Amino acid sequence: MTGKPMRKLIALGLITLLAGCATVDGIGRDISGAARGVQSWF
């Protein structure tokens, strides 16, 4: 029965991928916010 461990591995991979995307999106927003703040100084 190699199906169950493989399903767990795929599920874990998908969760990790989604969490990574959310983190990258958050970082992108932070950088955009900082850039707007610096732009407003000038």
pLDDT of residue 2: 59
pLDDT in tens, 1-41: 457 788 888 888 888 877 776 677 777 777 788 888 777 77
pTM score, whole prediction: 0.46
Residue 28 has a pLDDT of: 76
In this structure, what are the phi and psi dihedrals at residue 38, rounded to the nearest 5 degrees? -65, -40
pLDDT value of residue 7: 86
Alpha carbon separation from 24 to 3, 5, 14, 16, 39 (Å, rounded)? 32, 28, 15, 12, 22
